[in-house]
Each structure stands twice: as structure tokens, then as C-alpha cells.
Amino acid sequence: MQFTSMILSNVEVSPGYWRMRLTAPQGFAAAKPGQFVMVRVNSAIDPLLRRPFGIFDVAVHTPAHAGAVEQPCFEMLYRVVGKGTAMLSDLHATDLIDVLGPLGHGFDLGPAAEEKLIVGGGVGLAPLYLLAKELVKQSQVRLFAGGRTRDDILCITEFERLGVECYVATEDGSLGECGLVTEALVRRLKSINCKASIFACGPHGMLNAVAGIAEQYSIPCQVSLEGYMACGVGACLGCVTPGHNHTPETPDFRCVCAEGPVFNANELGWGC
Amino acid sequence: MKPDMTVNIAGMSLRNPVMTASGTFGYGQEFAEYVDLEKIGAFVTKGLSLKPRAGNPTPRIVETPGGMLNAIGLQNVGIEAFIAKKVPFLRTVNTPAIANFFGYTSEEYAELAFRLDAIPEIAALEVNISCPNVKQGGIVFGTDPKCAFDVVSACRKVTTKPLIVKLSPNVTDVVAMAQACADAGADALSLINTLTGMAIDLQRRKPVLANVTGGFSGPAIKPIALRMVWQVARAVKLPIIGIGGIMNATDALEFILAGATAVQVGTASFINPNAAEQIALEMENWLVKNNVASVHSLIGALEC
């Protein structure tokens, strides 16, 4: 659906990373973990296109005035990377923006009787909080959060509050272990004695490594991808990614916005 | 009184002059959730080829001030899958569906025209001789009047449906191209397709698009599109469908004043999936407010 949303708050949670809370229409409460929204940061023609953002959380907002009616709201966790996100970070509570969503296919939560291993890199944590919130209702959940420095490790307290056990690794050692978070993931997989599945979102290199680990340990792995997209509804075909059968001679492209953004890791062509 | 919004393109009666442009509206169904397809004049499907095409590597799109570049490379399901999987939806919508198509030789164009001619759900054909993003075919036919004449003639021989030819702006003389298509038996012309452009990533010292160049669209191209529509409308006696950066009813009406009978909305649908429907409604409101009884009276009514 397409709707005008009112910003409830917009806060810098770590240098360069922002968390925005926005109102949503009733139907939005049905948004699934892993789905995303396309946001128009202003009504001018620069920036021209909407920007895609993962849905960080879906909650209920009760306006602070007498007789107020509860309504759904949602949150986005975003990083300022260019003109569009810089403009978004300049917006304030009560500003209105145009939103399209929830869009795409989210995560499949899988069977309850297995351990859920969530892997997030930097702003890749954005779609993973709502996922963790759903998963803790049925399973044991562990989060592996990685980043270059401590500034890239976001909202860990929120995950801990859900009862998720969190492992943190930074490349410069400024928070948690020094190194890549995939090392902690591998350690966990070596010691685990029950069924498990992996859910990951982050930079392509990290997802590629996680997909490789999942294959090595023969456990199901879902990844949430990013893509340059204009429309978010499967029309522009800008955001395609190679599928596992992809070769230049026999192309196999998947549309990130409409067929994803969540894919089974083994459906994708990682070497392409 | 409700103004008359209907227009006629080569015998095809449209409830209003607003269509969606090929490549920006999928096969119609993608937008059904957001747009009342029965409030727009017509919609044009993604360009079809005989065989499915996978398109170009990524990145395929990049935004620039007031516009965007795309190098999708005509990814499409091919004619067989179109007939099997996409045509059944067209049957459910009471709005003309126009099939855009392209080939690599005149014979391929003609074969596609012949096969599309046999599909009752297709109201008209739009021949794409102007895609800037495929190496062979497409643009070759769109930049040489003789080639354009041959390909349009070949299509004309095998179809009785309205035949629209979509023109490229990447030419020295768009009027010569338009005239060649008219001489070959086209019923209407749609213009402009995207302008060839490129974007560079300074830090990486690389082009942004994997294809290096792409087609430039969006509000930034409107002045060029208006100029070309005006030039062609003065020179060629065929109905024109104006395309290029139309974001609102004002833009659309400017094209009509310049000589277009109808318009196509493209990039705007990416930003607002219901842009075409909104523009049609706003146009009607403008006519009411300005006491214009019929949109027809505005076609080519530019005073200069």
C-alpha cells in the first residue's frame, strides 16, 4: 500500500546511523520480518527515486492526547550514505513522508525446534530485529553482529532485551572480539548439537562467507539482499541478482524487490 | 460539465490520453494493486522479443539529478511466455493493452508483429526501434531512416492492428525518422525513448553502470522531448504519443499543446505507482477549471 506517514522520531543511534519511527495504516501491522518499504524523502524531483529500507520493527503507537486511538507504527534503521539518506536524517517528528510498503517476500521462520542463528553486518541488522522478535516466541535465538568498528554495532541492547544471546565482533577490536563475526558463527556451529538455521543480512562479502559456512555445515540459510532499484514492485528490473544457475550463456536473474529481498542462500549464484 | 477526455489513436478509442510507457509498467499485473487500470487510457507492456532475454549485468540503474539512467538490456519473458502467462491477465482489464516489441532483423520484427497481430487481447503494436541498451538491433533501426522504413514496412505487411513506432531521440534529424516511418505505413508515432547517457564514479574511476552507458529518463529530459514532439507534429500528419519526463498533468498538457494526441508516463510510475491514474484525473480537473470542453481542442494548440 501507498500512504502518507508522520514521523514520530528520528534519532542518530550511532555516528552515521539513524533510527526513525513512523506512523502506518492499520494494514501495516501484518508486515513480515524481512519485508521492506520504499520511502520518498521529499516531494521534489531531486532525489527523484524512492529509497528502499528494511523494516526494523512494527509496533503500536498511542498518541499522547486525550481520546487518542492506537495505530500501528514502524521503525527503520538506516545509514546516511548519500543525498537521499542525508535528507532523511534532517527530517523531524511531525514531518510527513510518502511510503510504499510493506514490499517483497520476508523470512520463512522455519520449524520451532531448532536454534536460530542471526548474522548481521552493520546496517544489515535493520531487518533482523523484527525477525528476532518473532523467532524468540518459538526458538532459541543467537545474534552474531559484525562491523568495522564499534560504531557499526547497532541496537544490541534491544536484541538482548528480547532474550537473544549476542556475539559481537569488530575488525578493529573496538567492541567484542577482534575479527570477523563469521568466526564466532563457525565456533557456535562446531559446538552445536541440535538442528539450526541461519538468517543473514549485511555486506555482500559477509553474506557470501555465511552462505559458504551454511553449505559446509549443511544447514538452511536465508539471506536478505540489497539492490539498486527504482520501483520496488518488480517493474524496473534494475535490482536483479544472479541465481544459482546463472551463466552468461544461460542467464538466471532473480528480482530482489519482488522475488526477494530474502532468498535461500543456495538459490543464488555467489560467484557471479 | 464533465469535459471530454477521449482521444483516438489510429482507430483506437481511449477514455483519456494517458498511457503508461513500455518498460516502466511490467505487463500491467505488477501495478494492479496500486492503479485502477480502468482509469487510464491504455498501457504498454515491457518490450518483447522472440526469445526470452536476460538483460544486462548489474548495476543497471543509477539516479542523477532530476532523472535516472537505466541499462536493463530489454530483459523480457519472450513471446511464448508472454502469450501463456501474461495475456490471460490482459483479458481481465477493460483497457487497451499495447504490446511493445523489438527484434534483431527486419524478419524478426515482422514475425513478432505477425504473432502479436493474432492475439485479440492486444489492441495495438508499438515497434521499438530505439532501445539504446542493446548492442545489435534496436537502435540501428532507430537511427537510420532507410532501416526504419524497411522494418516498419515489414511489420505493416503482417498486421492490421494500429502500428505505433517508438522513436529515438539519439538522432540528428528526428523529423526524417518520423517521415520514414509514416511513409512505411505507421499509424502513429511515440516519442521520445531515452537519451543515451552515462554516470561516472570518481573514486573508483569506473562507470556506474555495468553496461557503461544507459538510457536517460525522468523530468530532466522533458524540454528535449517537448521540442522533438513539436518538430515532428509540425512536419508529419500522424497522431503522436508524447513521452519524456511527464510527472504531472501540467507536463502532460504541455505535450498535448506541442502536438501530441496522447502521452505516456514512464519514470513517474516508479516513484508513484499510480502516477498515470493521478495525471489523468488532474488533467480532467485542469480542463474543468479552465473551461475547456474537450482535451481534443488542445492538441497542437500551441500559439507561436
Task: From chain B, pick out residues whose CB is under 8 angstroms from the CB of A255.
Answer: none
Residues A91 and A112 in one domain: no
Q: Which of A83, A103, A123 is the last residue of a domain?
A: A103
Structural domains in chain A (count): 3
Q: Is the dihedral of CA A267, A268, A269, A271 positive or negative?
A: negative
Instruction: Read off the CATH number of the domain in which A183 is found.
Output: 3.40.50.80
Give the C-alpha separation, A257 to A235, whole Å. Answer: 9
Residues A213 and A272 in one domain: no
State the residue for C-alpha cell 539492490: A227
Q: What is the mean pLDDT of residues A146-150?
A: 95
Q: What is the pLDDT of residues B204-237, one digit of tens each?
A: 999 999 999 999 999 999 999 999 999 999 999 9
Residues A96 and A129 in one domain: no
Choose the closest CB to A238 out of B60, B66, B220: B60
Q: How confident is the model at residue B44 (pLDDT cuts 50, 70, 90)?
A: very high
**pLDDT number for residue B1:** 80
Choose the closest CB to B270 out of A2, A227, A236: A236
**pLDDT number for residue B46:** 92
Contact B72 A236 (CB under 8 A): yes
Q: What is the mean pLDDT of residues B105-114?
A: 93
Q: What is the pLDDT of residues B126-135, one digit of tens each?
A: 999 976 655 5
**pLDDT number for residue A259:** 95
pLDDT of A28 > 80? The answer is yes
Mind telling me how many Å the CA of B23 is from chain A's nearest CA?
7
Q: What is the pLDDT of residues B143-175, one digit of tens each?
A: 889 999 999 999 999 999 999 999 999 999 999
Q: What is the pLDDT of residues A155-170, one digit of tens each?
A: 999 999 999 999 999 9
**What residue segments make up the domains of chain B, in order of their start?**
7-298
Q: What is the pLDDT of residues A87-105, one digit of tens each?
A: 999 999 999 999 999 999 9
Are A154 and A18 spatial neighbours (Cβ–Cβ below 8 Å)?
no
* B31 at interface of A, judged by CB pairs closer than 8 A: yes
| Residue of chain B nearest A45, judged by CA positions | B66
Choose the closest CB to A236 out of B54, B61, B67: B61
Percentage of residues of chain A with pLDDT beyond 70: 100
Q: What is the mean pLDDT of residues B179-188?
A: 98
pLDDT of B137 > 70? The answer is no
Q: How confident is the model at residue A182 (pLDDT cuts 50, 70, 90)?
A: very high
Q: How confident is the model at residue A51 (pLDDT cuts 50, 70, 90)?
A: very high
Residues A111 and A218 in one domain: yes
Mind telling me how many Å the CA of B236 is from chain A's nearest CA?
32
pLDDT of A66 > 90? The answer is no
Q: Which of A187, A203, A222 is the last residue of a domain?
A: A222
**pLDDT number for residue B166:** 96
Give the C-alpha separation, B25 to B123, whole Å. Answer: 17
Are B159 and B116 spatial neighbours (Cβ–Cβ below 8 Å)?
yes
Contact A45 B25 (CB under 8 A): no
Residues A260 and A193 in one domain: no
**pLDDT number for residue B131:** 62
**pLDDT number for residue B54:** 86
Q: How confident is the model at residue A110 (pLDDT cuts 50, 70, 90)?
A: very high
Instruction: Read off the CATH number of the domain in which A61 is found.
Output: 2.40.30.10
Q: How confident is the model at residue B41 (pLDDT cuts 50, 70, 90)?
A: very high
Helix (H, G, I), strand (E, B) or coil at A87: helix
Is B131 a known active-site residue?
yes
**pLDDT number for residue A219:** 94
- Do strands A2-14 and B262-265 pair parallel, antiparallel, or not at all (unpaired)? unpaired
Tell me which of A37, A233, A259 to substitute to probe the interface with B (most B C-beta atoms closer than 10 Å).
Answer: A233
Task: From chain B, pick out residues whose CB is under 8 angstroms from the CB of A241.
Answer: 58
pLDDT of A249 > 90? The answer is no
Task: From chain B, pick out residues whose CB is under 8 angstroms from the CB of A228.
Answer: 58-62
Contact B30 A234 (CB under 8 A): yes
| Residue of chain B nearest A43, judged by CA positions | B271
Instruction: Read off the CATH number of the domain in which A266 is found.
Output: 2.10.240.10
**pLDDT number for residue B139:** 64
| Domain extent for A255 | 225-272
**pLDDT number for residue A271:** 72
pLDDT of B61 > 60? The answer is yes
Chain A residues touching chain B at CB-CB below 8 Å: 2, 40, 45-50, 98, 100, 227-231, 233-241, 251-253, 258
Contact B60 A228 (CB under 8 A): yes
Residues A207 and A169 in one domain: yes
| Residue of chain B nearest A238, judged by CA positions | B60
Burial (Cβ within 10 Å: 0-12, 13-18, ≥19) of residue B51:
exposed
Q: Which of A103, A127, A161 is the last residue of a domain?
A: A103
**pLDDT number for residue A27:** 93
| Residue of chain A nearest B220, judged by CA positions | A45
Mean pLDDT of chain A: 94
**Residues near B147 by Cβ (< 8 Å), separated by ≥ 6?**
B129, B140, B141
pLDDT of B138 > 60? The answer is no
**pLDDT number for residue A193:** 81
Residues A125 and A143 in one domain: yes
In A17-127, alpha helices (H): 83-89
State if pTM tops 0.95: no
Residues A116 and A41 in one domain: no
**pLDDT number for residue A263:** 97
What ipTM, to 2 d.p.?
0.90
**Among B51, B62, B42, B54, CA closest to B101:** B51
Q: How confident is the model at residue B7 (pLDDT cuts 50, 70, 90)?
A: very high
Could you say which DSSP state residue A247 is in? -
pLDDT of B96 > 70? The answer is yes
Q: Counting one residue from A and one from B, how many pairs have CB atoms under 8 Å apart?
A: 91
Residues A180 and A231 in one domain: no
Tell me which of A37, A45, A226 to substitute to probe the interface with B (most B C-beta atoms closer than 10 Å).
Answer: A45
**Residues near A195 by Cβ (< 8 Å), separated by ≥ 6?**
A111, A113, A114, A115, A219
CA dist B241 to A72, A261, B6, B158, B287, Å? 43, 36, 14, 23, 19
Task: Assign a CATH topology to domain B7-298.
Answer: TIM Barrel (3.20.20)
